[in-house]
Structure 1
Amino acid sequence: MSFLHPNLKIWLASTLLAPAVALAAERITVENAGLAAPESVVHDTVDDVYYVSNMNGGIADKDGNGFISRIAPDGKVLALKWADGAAAGTTLHAPKGLTIAGRTLYAADIDTVRLFDLATGKPQGDIPIPGATFLNGLAALPSGEVVGTESALLVEGTTVTPTGKDFIYRIGTDRRVAIVAQSPQLNQPNGIAALPSGHFLVSTRGAAEVYELTHQGEKRNVRTLPGKIVDGVGLAPDGRVFASSWETAEVYAVTPDGQVSSPFGKLAAPAADFHFDVKRNRILLPLLRADSLVLAPIP
């Protein structure tokens, strides 16, 4: 199955605030800048800026203090709380996955997907996802639709319990929600990325797996990674599949012929839902436990 072009087969592997910006061999680390449990990042290619979701507290706490930051490619924080759950008229609790469809930013927030106008940062509505308890990754499709993962976790204090009600959903351009796939065999889907074929790459919290999901919800090309609790997943500009593991705090890269490497080694903290800056051949790595964002060249 060709993910990029007929000759390339990919298979999936076993406010303005002055931040502290550390530079090393073109790698930029945004730290000590006010980020608070950053979970996801997305590149707005039109305005050439990054948006970062900050849970700022418990992973499923409806505490109204989550926020989204706006960061320049050089690491400068343009607006720490570009969208602020503590502000009047804005609701954000523990935002995770981000994606952009049209000129709207979508943010997965526990059981609701929240929409924001990229031009103003103002809320553009909420889309409740029926049956959701732990919404996670998001990805935009060329059609303007958005797909997302429900990891199906029940969080009570420090106890996290899988419910077995895992599903992948789709939000239409009319904002209607439809289920793409629903099964405990989805293994607590976490990250999701759209493929040129129209299928999706999905990573799993419940297993060391990355797999392809068809339009019809069929799992294909299931592969096991060296590290468990897989979070971010994506197709790099050069055709390799990248996936991050919480167990090992590494990001794995899988070549078209199946060779697995760890191009960044062990990170200071596990990377969550990463994204690519294709313009700069760069990967954007939110380090949730380190309250930082790493902008690294793709080797």
Structure 2
Amino acid sequence: MALLLLATPALAQHKMNSSTFLSNPESIATDGKYLYIADVGKGGNPTAKDTNGIIWRTDLSGNKAERFAEGLHAPKGAVIAGKILFVTDIDRVKGYDLATGKELYNIDFTAENTSFLNDLAVQDNNTLYVSAMDINKLFRIRLSQQSAIEAVPVTGKLQGLNGLFVDNSSGRLYICTFGSMEKSDGEIGYISLKEPNPAFTRVSGRPGRYDGIALLDGYLLVSDWVAFEKSGEIIKVKLSDGSSAVLNKEKIAGPADFTLDAKGDIIVPAMMTGDILHCASR
């Protein structure tokens, strides 16, 4: 698919958190009242079982931080299903009651030989999807007292499987991949959730080191690390033709798994600097 840059102006972003409580924030979720920030912890090791991972809860401005959950290892993807916050934590998916902070779920993936569960996406209050970045596999979780884990067979190479977003209106699971680490060769596309053996379909020919993904008004919003330095971008991809534009004016150091606020603007963690940034999406 041809790459055509849209005539969308680059927009400035601003830092939200005024304090330095964050170490290596990887993901953000919101219930409209608070932000929940998954922080890998000091050292930033994404696979170390070091118990220094934290889930922070802040106000919607990214301040007034409190420790919502502690003792995790390297929490990454964060989503809210119903009244439960779910996060990935190396080889487990954990769920916390939003009202009390009590751990309600601790779903064990060790049998899948993964140590890098990454993003989560919600299909409904009983169904989640999770990416295992190190083994390039996609899983479905059926939530119950004894939650079931199902591998989703996808046709196509999903190297560095990362960001996920479910669009129930189209029956699609949008996916972005980080690629092979050695170069920017990640992809953006989708699979059909209506198919038992879905094929990965690209929506853009633009390569990158992609992390977070969301759908808004016929566009995919995707974060791209670009490189392991302050060079990251938030891009906007038009679904109808795959054309893309960069939204942020200033480069970001490690733009990871973001969320959208009530206006549809982007709240993205800069993982390498410990900042939370606001970026307009339109």
The TM-score range, normalised by the shorter chain, is: 0.7 to 0.9
User: How many equivalent residue pairs?
Assistant: 257
Q: Is it true that 1:170 corresponds to 2:156 in the alignment?
A: no
Q: What is the rounded CA distance, in whole Å, between the counterparts of 1:166 and 1:27 in structure 2?
A: 34
Secondary structure at 1:187 match in 2: coil
Q: Is it true that 1:281 corresponds to 2:264 in the alignment?
A: yes
| RMSD, aligned α-carbons | 2.4
Q: 1:235-246 to 2 correspondence within 5 Å? A: 235-236=215-216, 238-246=217-225
Q: What is the rounded CA distance, in whole Å, between the counterparts of 1:125 and 1:257 in structure 2?
A: 40
Give the alignment's TM-score, normalised by structure 1. 0.79
Aligned residue identity for 1:82: F
Q: CA shift at 1:27, angstroms?
A: 4.0
Q: CA shift at 1:176, angstroms?
A: 1.0
Structure 1 moving runs of 4+ over 3 Å: 11-14, 24-28, 223-227
Q: What is the rounded CA distance, in whole Å, between the counterparts of 2:13 and 2:274 in structure 1?
A: 20
Asked if structure 2 preserves the Cα contact closer than 8 Å seen for 1:50 and 1:72, the reply is yes
Q: Which residue of 1 aligns with 2:127?
A: 145
Q: Which residue of 1 aligns with 2:172?
A: 199
Structure 1 residues without counterparts, runs of 5 or longer: 1-10, 15-23, 86-91, 153-164
Q: 1:253-264 to 2 correspondence within 5 Å? A: 253-255=236-238, 256-264=240-248
Cα offsets for 1:207-251 (capped at 9, x unmatched): 320110122342343144545211111102x22101111124011
Secondary structure at 1:290 match in 2: coil
Asked if structure 2 preserves the Cα contact closer than 8 Å seen for 1:28 and 1:75, the reply is no
Q: 1:42 aligns with which of 14, 22, 29?
A: 29
Q: 2:104 aligns with which of 116, 120, 124?
A: 124
Q: CA shift at 1:74, angstroms?
A: 2.2
Asked if structure 1 preserves the Cα contact closer than 8 Å seen for 2:154 and 2:199, the reply is no
Identity, % of aligned pairs?
Answer: 28
Q: What is the rounded CA distance, in whole Å, between the counterparts of 1:70 and 1:12 in structure 2?
A: 42
Q: What is the rounded CA distance, in whole Å, between the counterparts of 2:143 and 2:116 in structure 1?
A: 23
Q: 1:222-241 to 2 correspondence within 5 Å? A: 222-224=202-204, 226-236=206-216, 238-241=217-220
Secondary structure at 2:214 match in 1: strand
Asked if structure 1 preserves the Cα contact closer than 8 Å seen for 2:204 and 2:242, the reply is no
- CA gap 1:167/1:26 in 2 versus in 1, 3 angstroms: closer
Asked if structure 1 preserves the Cα contact closer than 8 Å seen for 2:13 and 2:249, the reply is no
Structure 2 residues without counterparts, runs of 5 or longer: 5-10, 180-184
- CA gap 1:274/1:210 in 2 versus in 1, 3 angstroms: same
Q: What is the rounded CA distance, in whole Å, between the counterparts of 1:65 and 1:182 in structure 2?
A: 34
Q: 2:188 aligns with which of 210, 218, 234?
A: 210
